[in-house]
Chain A
Amino acid sequence: MRSRVTILLIVVMVMLSMTVLAADPQYGGTLNLRNSSDWDTLDPAYASGFNAGAMAVKIFDGLVRFDYYSNDVVPSLATDWTVSDDRLIWTFNLRKGVKFHNGREFTAHDVKFSFDRLFDPEVASPGTWAYDMIVGTDAALDGTTEGVSGVTVVDDHTVQFQLKYPFGLFLKHLTLPHALIVPQEVVEKYGDLFSENAVGTGPWKLIEWEHDDHIILEANEDYFEGRPYVDKVYYRVIPEDLTAVAEFEAGNLDFGPIPTAEFERWINDPIWKDYIVKQTELSTYYLALNQNVKPLDDVRVRKAIAHAIDVPTIIETLRNGTDTLANGPLPPGMEGYSAEIQPVEYDPEKARQLLKEAGYPDGLKIELWTSNTTDRVQMTGVFQAFLADVGIDAEIIESEWATFYPAVKEGKVPMYYLNWYADYADPYNFLQPLLYSKGSRVGMNDPLIDQMIDEMERTSNPLVRYELAKRIAQRTFELQPYVWLFHTTAYTLKQPWIQDEIWHQMYDADKLTTIWIDDSKK
């Protein structure tokens, strides 16, 4: 009995001490953040890049969003939703009393307007791909109808979407920045300059935007989830990492990058090592092997290339040992990822043997394309050396992104080094763009994979989708359309006074509503 009381007392004391230790969030202060380039736009219709999307979600809200601490989709401007039995009609009940920054109340008409605008041929949004499963989008885009017939206003606080076919990922697509809701009267007032005068319902109001210099956001006192703790956010455009680090060291930035060249210095710094945040990213770096180009149409050649490259050594040396060895297209942390799959082993002898079997006993010559950033050119140089060791003469073609990417998209590049980052957290978003036959940039044409991806798209059961994802990942080792290399980990410095910040794997999940500044640590 006595020991039970003692244990109870200890538990109570520990809980009490934890309460004391966990300080209450403080309101006020200014967050000083950095962006490496100016934002192309803040207009959701055009926000296709990560920078633009990450900023747009601070100012605007969508019907749903990612949970701050998981990859679950949670309500935002919609409170709840129902789906018809045939999974074609999605009805969203909208939050009442939500106001845009101009004071006007948000209604279902704004949802309708935002989606109609996305498919307005005059607007020419790059985001139409994400919602082309909605009925009437083709006609709207052709200009034969005004607006999307599949999006209807039921009443002021209810909106309905009619789909062409069951699409299991509809909610996840609604988390994308293109689906953020904009007010019609402000868009019509400013036209092309809406981005400069962005007005949404989000937690932050756009106060000032000096292009290529800074953006200032101010807390929305009336935000429906409660105002953010911080009063203002001052985003500065600082292109150079080394300059940003200097600003961080001077205390002018609350977060700082760790440039590759400075990795050792920071990671071993006795003071700062406790303020380095490690974040695994939803990314996959790969070497693409285009099956439409000879001799890569032969699976033995593709497999030989996979066996020729010593990826673990590359990670240890060129990547400072920070990244995770890829065992397929899906990164760890992504549903459907399986740690049990074994990556292709580095085996130059086997590579030579496979080349011999494929009819290239004296090796072969092939182009290896990359965009011209220093780290990428360095990486392809290493690939070149490994390939040369098994008799493959890889000629490196380096070009600017503006040249490299359209060439890749045309599907004519034989072998290229690139990566994929998630648009939204679901394995479908990796497997469909990388492995589906339609629009493939590596000549994919595998009926089995196509069938499984189609099934992933239609099923509403996430468990079925994740199981299919595992099977597709396994299948890629038989076809070897890519050499899966690694999944990146981002390292960020943070100041000691920064509290409760969110480290989500999705670029568009954080709305900066939880972060606060502990003045006592300044």
Chain B
Amino acid sequence: MFEYLIRRLVMMIPVLLGVLFITFLLMFVIPGDPITNMMGQRANDEVIERIRKDLHLDDPWYIQFFNYIGRTLRGDLGQSFVTHRPVAVEILEKLPNTARLAISTMIVASIMGILIGILAAVFHNTWIDRTVMVFALIFISTPVFWFGLILIYIFSITLGWLPISGMGDGSIKYLILPAITLGTRSSAFLARMTRSTMLEVIRQDFIRTARSKGLSQKIVIFKHALKNAMIPIITILGLDFASYLNGSVLTETIFGWPGFGRYVVQAINKRDFQVIAGSVMIGAIIFVVANLLVDLSYGFLDPRIRYD
């Protein structure tokens, strides 16, 4: 297990290098000039060229790439071209906000999704199953942008129960609407996945055995069936969580949530290369670690799985 962990962590290095390499290549291939954008419409061409030189943006891409790797290994993610602030500081400001939203979203998605999925599986082919699946389909197809605005209209404007946007004083009431907006779609996916894996498990012999032993329906479903159905569900949850940690641009935009997603999109729009590279690397680390955690969780869910 320990060896497996070390091996996976070592494997992260070529993955991250690969991601950075591709990001650098993309930044050179896509049209657009960070300095022209940074300096506004009136800056002198001479000044623009000098800044390009000062920032070593006129160096060949591979020199810039190796310089960037060298700096990153020393723990320096560089400075934003636009705000002149250290990229690491900016990312560390945004990540906790995004993490709060991601965790709340996962709570909403997993509770709603798994429970509804179980309900649909237990009442397979009844009106409950059909209703749940129709709603799941509706929520999967609902655009996040529209859904967020509808929630604002109902719960903030009409009923006045919840704040409209922003993080306010940081209290939980500001999280509810963004988390529901983001989590509902995820929960619909999860409900469908839970339903189909539960149906598969429920039909297996060991469940029949459990039932014939006289175990209650609750114990059969939650202790025996759900545990065995969890592997695909955890896989989806893990990857969803990683993607939410990388930000959710639309939800962050509608609710004015100062998160990582909006930050990265703004950097891409302004061609703020240092921010893009730093953010992509952090995003890649999040995905790799989430994958690792998902893989490790398999062993806990199914003791037959060994990490050799």
B258 touches A249 (CB 8 A): no
CA gap between A423 and B253 in the complex, in Å: 29
Q: Which residue of chain B has the shortest Cβ distance to A402 in the bound complex?
A: B32
Q: Mark B263-275, 1 if CB is under 8 A from A, else 0.
A: 1001001110000
Which one of A196, A237, A247 has the greatest number of beta carbons of chain B within 10 Å? A247
CB distance from B102 to the nearest CB of A (A): 17
Give the distance in Å from the alpha carbon of A35 to the alpha carbon of B227 in the complex: 49
Q: Given the known A-B contacts A124-B51, A129-B43, A246-B153, are A213 and B258 also in contact in the complex, defined by CB atoms under 8 Å? A: yes
- Chain B: minimal CB distance from A206 (Å): 15
- CA of A213 to CA of B255 in the docked complex: distance in angstroms? 11
B32 touches A195 (CB 8 A): no
Interface window among B59-67, B164-172, B204-212:
B164-172
Query: Across the two chains, which residue of chain B brings its CB closest to A212?
Result: B258
- Taking a contact as CB atoms under 8 Å apart, the answer to whether A213 and B166 are in contact is yes
**What chain B residues lie within 8 Å of A211 (beta carbons)?**
83, 90, 93, 258
Q: A237-B258, A240-B254, A400-B32 are in contact. Are A126 and B42 (CB under 8 A)?
A: yes
Q: How far is the CA of A130 from the CA of B255 in the complex (A)?
A: 38
Assembled-state Cα–Cα distance A331/B57 (Å): 39
- Using CB atoms, name the residue of chain A closest to B270: A402
Tell yes or no: A175 within 8 A of B by CB.
no
Tell me the minimal C-beta distance from A373 to chain B in angstroms: 11
Whether A212 contacts B262 by the Cβ 8 Å rule is yes
Task: Report yes or no: B42 in contact with A238, Cβ–Cβ below 8 A.
Answer: no
A263 at the B interface (CB under 8 A): no
Contact A236 B37, CB 8 Å, known A41-B83, A402-B32:
no
Please tell me which one of the listed residues A40, A195, A433 contacts residue B42 in the complex, with CB atoms under 8 A apart. A433
B256 with A238: CB separation less than 8 A? yes
Q: Are A405 and B37 in contact (CB-based, < 8 A)?
A: yes
**In B198-229, which residues have CB < 8 Å from any A CB?**
none
CB distance from B69 to the nearest CB of A (A): 23
Which B residues touch A246, using CB under 8 A? Answer: 152-153, 156-157, 164-165
Asked if A379 is at the interface of the complex by the 8 Å CB criterion, the answer is: no
In contact, B37 and A406 (Cβ under 8 angstroms): yes
CB of A395 within 8 Å of the partner chain: no
Instruction: Determine how close the nearest CB of chain A comes to the CB of B270; give it in whole angstroms.
Output: 6
In this complex, the interface size class of chain A, counting residues with CB under 8 Å from chain B, is 35 or more
- A48→B42 CA distance, assembly (Å): 8
Q: Among A41, A49, A128, A214, which residue has its beta carbon within 8 angstroms of that of B166?
A: A214
Residues of the B chain whose Cβ atoms lie less than 8 Å from the Cβ of A237: 256, 258
Q: How far is the CA of A505 from the CA of B165 in the complex (A)?
A: 30
State which residues 73-111 of B face A: CB under 8 Å: 79, 82-85, 90, 93-94
**Interface membership of A46, Cβ < 8 A:** yes
Query: Interface centre among B30, B33, B270, by most A CB within 10 Å?
Result: B33
Contact A250 B83 (CB under 8 A): no
Contacts of A252 in B (CB 8 A): 164
A250 B254 Cβ-Cβ under 8 A: no
Q: Which residues of A contact B42 (CB under 8 A)?
A: 48, 126, 129-130, 423, 433
- Please report the C-alpha to C-alpha distance between residue A132 and residue B45 in the assembled complex, in whole angstroms: 13
Q: How large is the interface on B (under 10, 10 to 19, 20 to 34, 35 or more residues)?
A: 35 or more
Taken residue by residue from 122 to 138, chain B's Cβ proximity to chain A (1 for < 8 Å, 0 otherwise) reads as 00000000000000000
| B54→A243 contact, CB < 8 A | no
CA–CA, A193 and B149, complex, Å: 37
Task: Say yes or no: is B50 at the interface (Cβ < 8 Å to chain A).
Answer: yes
The residue on B at minimum CB distance from A37 is B266
Instruction: Compute how far the CA of A520 lies from the CA of B38 in the bound complex, rounded to whole angstroms.
Output: 45
In this assembly, does B31 line the interface, its C-beta being within 8 Å of a C-beta of chain A? Answer: yes
Which of B42, B85, B262 has the largest count of A CB atoms less than 10 A from its CB? B42
B50 to chain A, nearest CB (A): 7
Distance in angstroms between the alpha carbons of A128 and B48 in the assembled complex: 11
A-chain residues with CB within 8 Å of residue B44 when the two chains form the complex: 128-129, 132
- List B8-53 residues whose CB lies under 8 Å from chain A: 30-34, 36-45, 47, 50-51
- Pairs across A and B, CB under 8 Å, 11 listed: A37-B266, A141-B47, A192-B79, A196-B85, A212-B259, A213-B256, A213-B258, A214-B166, A243-B164, A246-B156, A246-B165
A interface with B by C-beta (< 8 Å)? 37-38, 40-41, 43, 46, 48-49, 121, 124-126, 128-130, 132, 141, 192-193, 195-196, 210-214, 236-240, 242-243, 246-247, 249-250, 252, 399-403, 405-407, 409, 423, 433, 439
Given A41-B82, A211-B93, A401-B37, 13 additional A-B pairs, CB 8 A: A121-B50, A126-B47, A129-B44, A192-B84, A192-B85, A213-B166, A236-B166, A237-B256, A239-B253, A246-B157, A250-B157, A250-B164, A406-B31
